[in-house]
């Protein structure tokens, strides 16, 4: 057995604080390939994956579709919440966001002879939407009809649009 001698390693010159390592420039197609690999991770199609745009809650229809319309003196938020009763909705408003929470529960039973089929469906959601301007929380109004929640949020005085004449 021979004893191994330690290998000598040449010391690297110290980098000055102003010099940075030179990055290898990628060919445009290599860069695009890298971007696609980063976006579509190996498990991006697995159920339950929380990565945008294919989250399981959105795919199952549990997240309500929300529209935000910015008008001159108000912001109107419309949320589609089919199957949710008015009593099972909770809405909270701050001067810059709206949070909507809801629960749904339904049961059906079909009996025919010796066979019985029973289906139970439950679901819940919570969604917070940022508003494009400050609103007057005390003057907010909510309406609910046919599974559609409509919030009318008057803008705070300083957030209202103003017309400026050009001289």
Q: Are residues 42 and 86 in the same domain?
A: no
Alpha-carbon dihedral sign for residues 85, 152, 133, 138? negative
Tell me if 126 is assigned to some domain.
Answer: yes
Residue 132 lies in a domain: yes
As given in the structure block, the two tokens for residue 44 are 């991006």
Structural domains in the chain (count): 2
pLDDT at 136: 93
Residue 8: predicted pLDDT: 46
Q: Is residue 80 one of the residues assigned to a domain?
A: yes
Q: pLDDT at position 105, please?
A: 86
Answer yes or no: do 67 and 145 share one domain.
yes
Q: What's the pLDDT band for 152 if we cut at 50, 70, 90?
A: very high
Burial of 160 (0-12, 13-18, 19+ CB in 10 A): middle
Q: What is the pLDDT of residues 125-150, one digit of tens each?
A: 999 999 998 999 999 999 999 999 99
| Residue 113 and residue 94 share a domain | yes
Q: What is the pLDDT of residues 59-106, one digit of tens each?
A: 344 688 999 999 989 999 999 998 899 999 999 999 889 999 999 888
| pLDDT for 44 | 54
* pLDDT, average across residues 35-57: 53
Q: Is residue 113 part of a domain?
A: yes
User: Does any domain span residue 164?
Assistant: no
Within a domain: residue 165? Answer: no
Pair (124, 155) in one structural domain = yes
User: Is the full-model pTM beyond 0.85?
Assistant: no
Mean pLDDT estimate for the chain: 76
Q: In this predicted model, which residue has the larger pLDDT, 60 or 40? A: 40
Same domain, 72 and 154: yes
What are the tokens at 160? 């209202």
Q: Both 68 and 92 in a single domain?
A: yes
Asked whether residue 52 carries a pLDDT value surpassing 50, the answer given is: no
Are 116 and 134 found together in one domain? yes
CA atoms of 66 and 157, how far apart (whole Å): 25
Phi/psi of residue 43, nearest 5 degrees: -110, 25
70 and 32 within one domain: no
Kindly report the three-state secondary structure assignment for every residue of 4-61: CCCCCCCCCCCCCCCCCCCCCCCCHHHHHHHHHHHHCCCCCCCCCCCCCCCCHHHHCC
Residue 3 covered by a domain: no
Q: For residues 97 and 45, state if they share a domain.
A: no
Domain limits for position 51: 25-60
- Do 111 and 66 lie in one domain? The reply is yes
Identify the pLDDT of residue 75: 94
pLDDT at 20: 46
Task: Clarify whether residues 155 and 73 are in a common domain.
Answer: yes
Domain check: are 76 and 52 in the same one? no
Decide which of 51 and 149 is more confident: 149
Residue owning tokens 């529960």: 105
């Amino acid at each position: 057995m021979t004893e191994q001698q330690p290998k000598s390693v040449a010391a690297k010159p110290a980098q000055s604080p102003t010099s940075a390592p030179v990055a290898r420039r990628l060919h445009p197609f290599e860069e695009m390939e890298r971007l696609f690999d980063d976006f579509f991770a190996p498990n991006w199609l697995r159920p339950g994956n929380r990565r945008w745009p294919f989250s399981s809650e959105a795919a199952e229809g549990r997240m309500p579709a929300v529209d935000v319309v910015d008008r001159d003196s108000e912001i109107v938020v419309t949320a589609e919440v089919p199957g949710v009763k008015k009593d099972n909705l909770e809405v909270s408003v701050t001067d810059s966001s709206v949070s909507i929470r809801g629960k749904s529960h339904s049961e059906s039973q079909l009996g025919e002879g010796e066979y019985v089929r029973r289906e139970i469906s439950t679901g819940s959601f919570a969604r917070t939407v940022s508003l494009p301007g400050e609103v007057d929380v005390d003057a907010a109004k909510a309406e609910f009809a046919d599974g559609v929640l409509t919030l009318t949020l008057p803008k705070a005085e300083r957030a209202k649009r103003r017309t400026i004449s050009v001289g």
